[in-house]
Every structure is written in structure tokens, then in C-alpha cells.
Amino acid sequence: MSDAPYAVLVVDDSALMRNLIGKIIDSDPDTAVAGKAMNGRFALAKIESLRPEVIVLDLEMPEMNGIEFLTERKQRGIDIPVVVLSSIARRGAQVTMDALALGASDFILKPSGSVSSDIHTVAEQLLALVKSLGAEYRRRHPGDDAVRPPTRDRTDDRAAARTSATGSGDGRVRLQPPDSPVPVRRPPIKAGPIDLVAIGVSTGGPNALRKVFAQLPGDLGCGVVVVQHMPAGFTTEFARSLDRISPLTVVEAKNDDPIEPNGVLIAPGDHHIVMRGGSRPHVLLSSDPHRNGHRPSADVLFDSVAREFGNRALGVIMTGMGRDGAMELGSILQRGGLTIGQDEATSVVYGMPRVAHLLGHVELQVPLSEIADTITRLVQENRGA
């Protein structure tokens, strides 16, 4: 696979924003601006010649806006990953959900409106996302290496990246996964009837969850709790969008909400969600510090699920950048619960499920198309346990 920097197409109607975003992209040795476009129409015209591996897209543009571009991209079968970088997202969660439904991989809010001179405050997040999506795209298109720009000398940068990767940003030391998978070791505890399915997901998650929840039966017979990395103000609309296509009842979680059979609770943005079992299983919301750089955090969810539900839980880790959820998925396994991980081929970013797999915390690794059926089968098989 080529070591050339990932080629990025920047699409924004503001010349200032194109310049500032371009400087962020070019500031990292692993990314490079392939070109810029002032709206979706120009972007479509440039894709074939520029051959970008990631597109950074504004939503509010003249002539062809971001939603219209994503619609045309989908119709043309273009699979280049898209990061929405927009201010309209802050004003309209529905528009953002529409963008994700049309295939955008993730979104980042411009800090202070459509022309944000402080765009540098999201530079780290943007670069991390671009590099993860670029790596996945290049893995799926290995034959394109011959047309990539010349390789830069990045030896020192890579060494520095490896050194800095040991910190998580929240005072914790990150666990470095092994180079090859650790064998899965189940404890002697047998799985019991599944009372709760807990799902952790990040980049690429909205579309992946749409597919899963559209396929789950309305009589699943247990509760479901989801951590999808998403900022505050968006999870209410996200839950509504899932509820419209799912036989299950999907809502954004509120403090003290009960765990209901055939009900789904989505962790609200900027709040951890924690399980409480006993005679009345319910959830608590928490503003405790970020974990693995996230709030809500899948590790926080899985840790409480393991503690409160033990062998009556099923943990699922899906597409996402980083490693959130990978460690504590193992806690569910060690308490006798069951675990599922999304496979590499169908993950938008094979980060979280990859680390969980390498740590030996994933019992069943399955493609996205089989996750709903696998959840249903395991719940049904263990119903009489």
C-alpha cells in the first residue's frame, strides 16, 4: 500500500474557508489537498481528474449544496468517504441526519458559523477523521496506488505519532493492542437469558445502525442501549430517525428511564449512560469526564453493563475510529455475557472493532448485514437458559 499522503478535496463556498481548511490538511505530512471546489457541481466535475480519497464538504452552498451533492454522489455510485464540515449542522440536526443517511461518514461542526476564522480548534479532530477514512478507502482501492502523489519522508513524524498515541487525553494510559489477535477465552460461567443488548459505535455508525434496527424484530424480547459518538443536540433527531425505520421503539434516553423489552435507548450527546439493574433495571446519565476522548463512551456503558447484567448481557461493538469500547467489551465477556464485533470488510473505519478483536474480546465477528440476525439468534437461543 502506498505511503503517499491521503488526497483530500475541500468543498466550501467561502474562499477563506477553503484556504483555512486547506492549510490544516497540508499541515500534516499524512494528508494533502488534491483540490478545492466552491460548490457540489464543481466538486463532481473535479473528482475524476483529482482522484481524492476523502472529501471535506460544506452543506450550505449555492448552485449545488451539500445535500444535493451527496444525492448525486450516491446516484453515481461514488464511494469516496465524505466528512461534513458545516455550521448549518448546528442549526438543523435534521439536515445533518439527511447528510448521514445519504452516505456521509461523519460530521464536524464549524466552531463559529459558516466563516469560522477559529476553524483551527477542530483541526485535530478533522485530521484524525480524514486519515482514518483515507486509510480505509485506500485499503478498499489498492489498485489506485500507482496514481498517488510521491511519497514524503515521514519517518520522524510516524515515530512521534507512535509516542504520543500512548495518552488518551483524559489522563488514562491507552492499552496498546497486540499485533495479532489474542485467543478468545470464555469464563466457566454460562450465558443466561439475554436481558440487555449494549451497542457501541462511532464513525459510520448512523447508517450501520439504520441497517441493524430496520432488521431487528419488534418482539426481540429484551432492551437495547446504544452509545453512538455524537455531540449534544443531535441525538434526539437521530433517535427519531431510527424510530421511523425500526419495529422497535427508539428514543433518546433520559435519566432514570427503565430498560423496557423491545425498547431502544440512545445515549444523549455529551452524557455517559450507565446501567442500574435490580428489580427495576434503568439507566442513569452522567457528566463524568470524557473517557477515551468521548462522552458518551462505549467503555463506560460496557463496564456498567458487565457489572449490572453479567451473563445476561450481549455486547456489540461496531464501526468506529479509535478504541472506545474495546477494553470493557472484555468485561462483558468475562462476566459470562456474549460479544459480537463488526468485521473489517463492512466497517467504515475498522478501529474500535479491530482493537476489541485483537484483545480477544470478540466471540463472533460478522459483517454488517448479519449483525441483526446474529443478535436475534443469540437472544432467542438463550431465552430459556
**What per-residue confidence (pLDDT) applies to 156?**
32
Using the predicted structure, report yes or no on whether residue 169 has a pLDDT greater than 90.
Answer: no
Closest CA to 248 of 236, 258, 239: 239
Whole-model pTM: value is 0.84
User: What does CATH list as the number for 6-144?
Assistant: 3.40.50.2300
**What per-residue confidence (pLDDT) applies to 145?**
54
Q: Identify the weakest region by mean pLDDT among 31-40, 49-58, 118-127, 207-216.
A: 118-127
**What per-residue confidence (pLDDT) applies to 168?**
41
**What per-residue confidence (pLDDT) applies to 182?**
86
**Cα 148 to Cα 245: distance, rounded to the nearest angstrom:** 40
Asked if the domains at 6-144 and 196-381 fall in one CATH topology, the answer is: yes
Using the predicted structure, report yes or no on whether residue 150 has a pLDDT greater than 80.
Answer: no
Task: Using CA atoms of 335, 212, 344, 98 in order, give the dihedral in degrees to the nearest 10.
Answer: -130
**What per-residue confidence (pLDDT) applies to 167?**
38
**What per-residue confidence (pLDDT) applies to 385?**
64
Domain ranges within the chain, ordered by starting residue: 6-144, 196-381
**What per-residue confidence (pLDDT) applies to 166?**
36
Using the predicted structure, report yes or no on whether residue 127 has a pLDDT greater than 80.
Answer: yes
Active site residues: 202, 229, 324
Using the predicted structure, report yes or no on whether residue 152 has a pLDDT greater than 70.
Answer: no
Average pLDDT, the chain: 89
Closest CA to 291 of 310, 267, 314, 309: 267
**What per-residue confidence (pLDDT) applies to 172?**
44
- 2.60.40.10, 3.40.718.10, 3.40.50.450, 3.40.50.180: which CATH number matches 196-381? 3.40.50.180
Helices (H), the chain: 15-26, 40-50, 66-76, 88-91, 93-101, 123-140, 155-164, 205-215, 235-245, 298-309, 326-334, 352-358, 368-381
Measured over the CA atoms of residue 68, residue 73, residue 79 and residue 80, the dihedral's sign is: negative
**What per-residue confidence (pLDDT) applies to 115?**
66
> Taking residues 302-309, what's their average pLDDT?
98
Using the predicted structure, report yes or no on whether residue 112 has a pLDDT greater than 80.
Answer: no
Q: What is the DSSP string of 181-231?
A: PPPP---SPPP----EEEEEE-TTHHHHHHHHHHHS-TT--SEEEEEE---
Angle subtended by helix axes 205-215 and 93-101, to nearest 10: 80
Using the predicted structure, report yes or no on whether residue 330 has a pLDDT greater than 80.
Answer: yes
pLDDT in tens, 201-232: 999 999 999 999 999 999 999 999 999 999 88
**What per-residue confidence (pLDDT) applies to 162?**
35
> Taking residues 283-303, what's their average pLDDT?
97
